[in-house]
Amino acid sequence: MSLVGRVDVDRRAYQAEGADGLFPLDASLNLPTELYSLGVRRRAAEEAARGSFDEVVEAIGKTTGAQVPKRQVDQLAVRAAVDFDTFYASSPGNDINAVEATKAMLLVLSFDGAGVVMRKADLRPATRKAAEKKESDPRWPRKRLSKGEKKNRKRMAEVAAVYDIAPFPRETDDVVHELRPVRDATPKRPRPRPSRKRVWASLEETMQEVVDDAFEEASRRDPDRKRRWVVLVDGNADQLTCVYWAAAKRSIKITVILDVIHVLGRLLAVSSAGRVQTESHLEILRRTGAPDDADFQAARPPPTGKIAGN
């Protein structure tokens, strides 16, 4: 099954008793051993990264001559990702040429969390127990969901990124100027673009495991620890604890940068703490790790870097 539809290929086979047959034309045409061509498999993987499997089936059916059922789309997407970790683990990230080319660049690690709504059976044990307790409440579900109603329906995926980028010095005025809703006609300095960027996420691994994987990837790029390591975070207390532990275990000096947009969000929450939703805002600050969070300060090891504004 190809992008233009079903294609039948007649080819000659060479066989011998007790041996598998050989089909030289298969190798010449780079034909896969399964039904779907490499083009269809690539298209299914690309579309699966953008949307649901139902949308993949619809997109392939509308734009190609191939017809791929939903279950086969699922299987093709899974097989497309089997070599992900092996590919990056074996990539020449620490060869001489790569190290010399990126020696003057910043080595950036970025982390974030994303909540994914899951079936109850796939939630983590603690979350599933809380969801079952919520469902046993005779007042649940309400006709209208209140804030936090999805709290026990999601499983957090930890997202990590590692990339190289050239330094881009800016003054405070430059940062504030870019936050303006109105853009002027003044030409901007061209920003450097990230290179060798790797992004991944996991619902199965813990936050600490994902952070450790990112530090291992960065270590392959800078085995001699001669570059400046920058860690970009959103201020999540648990996430920061994982980052500091990973750096301390490897004796790496890091510079931690808190995303300015999240800083402004925290300031907004603080400024509105005295309004109608006082209790909820204070709870948000307590959970996410406000600067005066005593539990977080006690749990975190001494920082090996500093927190700076972006």
Residues 47-75: tens digit of each pLDDT: 998 888 899 999 999 898 888 999 999 99
pLDDT value at position 102? 65
Which of 8-12, 142-146, 176-180, 183-187 reaches the highest mean pLDDT?
Answer: 8-12
pLDDT band at 305 (very low <50, low <70, confident <90, very high): very low
What would the mean pLDDT of 205-213 be, rounded to a whole number?
A: 93
List own/partner pairs for 286-293 with CB under 8 A and 24 or more apart.
288/235, 288/236, 288/237, 289/235, 289/236, 289/237, 289/238, 289/240, 290/266, 293/237
Q: Which residue has the higher pLDDT, 140 or 284?
A: 140
pLDDT value at position 144? 56
- Share of residues in the chain with pLDDT > 90 (%): 23
Amino acid at 34: E
pLDDT value at position 109? 96
pLDDT band at 106 (very low <50, low <70, confident <90, very high): very high
pLDDT value at position 249? 94
Q: Which residue has the higher pLDDT, 294 or 91?
A: 91
What would the mean pLDDT of 169-195 be, rounded to a whole number?
A: 79
Q: Which residue has the higher pLDDT, 302 or 208?
A: 208
pLDDT band at 297 (very low <50, low <70, confident <90, very high): very low
DSSP per-residue codes, the chain: -BTTB--------EEETTEEEE-HHHHHHT--SSSS-HHHHHHHHHHHTTS-HHHHHHHHHHHSS----HHHHHHHHHHHTTTHHHHHHHS-TTSHHHHHHTTTSEEEEEEEEEEEE--GGGS-HHHHHHHHHHHTSTT-S-SS--TTTTTTTEEEEEEEEEEEE------HHHHHHHT-SS--SPPPPPPPPPEEEEEEEESSS-HHHHHHHHHHHHHHH-TT--SPEEEEE---HHHHHHHHHHHHHTT--EEEEE-HHHHHHHHHHHHTTTSTTHHHHHHHHHHHT-TT-HHHHHHSPPPSS-EEE-
What would the mean pLDDT of 243-248 be, rounded to a whole number?
A: 94
Query: CA 159 to CA 46: how far, in whole Å?
Result: 19
pLDDT value at position 216? 93
What would the mean pLDDT of 6-33 be, rounded to a whole number?
A: 84
Q: How far apart are the first and last CA of the chain?
A: 50
Residue 19 tokens, joined = 């041996």
- Share of residues in the chain with pLDDT > 70 (%): 72
Q: pTM above the 0.85 mark?
A: no
pLDDT band at 295 (very low <50, low <70, confident <90, very high): very low
pLDDT value at position 153? 66
Radius of gyration of the chain (CA): 25
pLDDT value at position 101? 61
pLDDT per position as a tens digit, 137-160 = 666 555 555 555 556 667 788 999
Amino acid at 86: T
Q: Which residue has the higher pLDDT, 9 or 151?
A: 9
pLDDT value at position 35? 86
Average pLDDT score over the chain: 77
pLDDT band at 96 (very low <50, low <70, confident <90, very high): very low
Picking from 164, 296, 200, the residue whose alpha carbon sits closest to that of residue 242 is 296
Task: Please state the domain extents for the chain.
Answer: 14-82, 96-118+153-309
